[in-house]
Amino acid sequence: MELNREENVMLEGGVEKTSSPWRNIWSELVKNKAAMVGLSIIVILILIALFGKYLMPYDPNTGVLAESLQKPSSAHIFGTDEQGRDIFSRIIDGTKISLRVGITAVAIALTAGIIFGSFAGYYGGKIDMYIMRLMDIILAFPSLLLAIAFMSALGKGIDKAIIAISIVTIPEYARIVRGSILSVKENEYVQAAKAIGNNDMGIIFKHILPNVMSPIIVRATLGISTAILETSALGFLGLGIQPPQAEWGSMLGAGRGYFYNAPHIVLFPGIAITITVLAFNLFGDGLRDALDPKLRK
């Protein structure tokens, strides 16, 4: 399916109508209620990340010790944490950090994965062997453990978390891109592009990749939820974003010692992580169904 060029022409009542592949995909996506729920939540989260400072009733990083561990009330709808900080404000503030790390890490991993996977799949031979053996070495380790190792070497902080998470997820995208290119590089349009004198880079990035982007887009969407989970895990272990910055995983880690006395401290950050990951998974599953004709009902 050539998403960037192909157009479908339909005749309805003698009137010619043009429908682009992207419009068809959107119409299929709209029919999937779960995917639209996920997309709606994602849009809300993005708006919160962009305009959250106008929604926070309190400074997320400043608390009053005399008001610590307060239960949810009209003054603090999600209660306060062990330092008297408003949990509602901190969850809103943490939204932009989780989305920033998730989206940026996936963008970096996707870019590197496309480059490595394209070269491996198109050229084959020793290039393919060296690249894919390197990817196999990375995949041999659990991604979270490898991310922890990178964080230990790089240090703590949001930028280090982005680098660590992006490195451990590169092989996933490289393998998908390589497999997709292997399945189409012998097709007639690729051979025609070679015959008319297109160079290898032009063939890969202008002719092959635009026609194999469907699985890559779906994996990237689902990968954002994985990156957010790994960010939260690193924060929970104290290796990710550092206080006083608000991050959902670090909020869980700091509040686990007060679980029995003040369960709301871990309840609301946990709900935020669950809803965000679920939203990206629902949207990713719906996008997969819309992009793959075999899965359409």
pLDDT tens, N- to C-terminus, the chain (297 residues): 444 444 444 444 444 444 567 787 788 888 889 999 999 999 999 999 999 889 999 999 888 888 899 999 998 999 999 899 999 999 999 999 999 999 999 999 999 999 999 999 989 889 999 999 999 999 998 888 899 998 888 888 888 889 999 999 999 999 999 998 888 887 888 888 788 877 888 888 888 888 888 888 889 999 999 999 999 999 888 887 777 788 899 999 888 888 888 999 999 999 999 999 999 999 998 888 888 655 555
DSSP string, 184-236: HTTSHHHHHHHHTT--HHHIIIIIIGGGSHHHHHHHHHHHHHHHHHHHHHHHH
Three-class DSSP labels, 12-56: ECCEEEEECHHHHHHHHHHHCHHHHHHHHHHHHHHHHHHHHHHCC
- Residue 296 has a pLDDT of 52
* C-alpha distances in Å from residue 60, one per residue of 20, 90, 263: 46, 5, 19
- Residue 19 has a pLDDT of 55
Domain architecture of the chain: domains with CATH: 32-295 (1.10.3720.10)
pTM of the prediction?
A: 0.84
- Residue 158 has a pLDDT of 84
Nearest in space to 164 (alpha carbons), one of 216, 114, 237, 67:
237
- Residue 5 has a pLDDT of 44
Residue 242 amino acid letter: Q
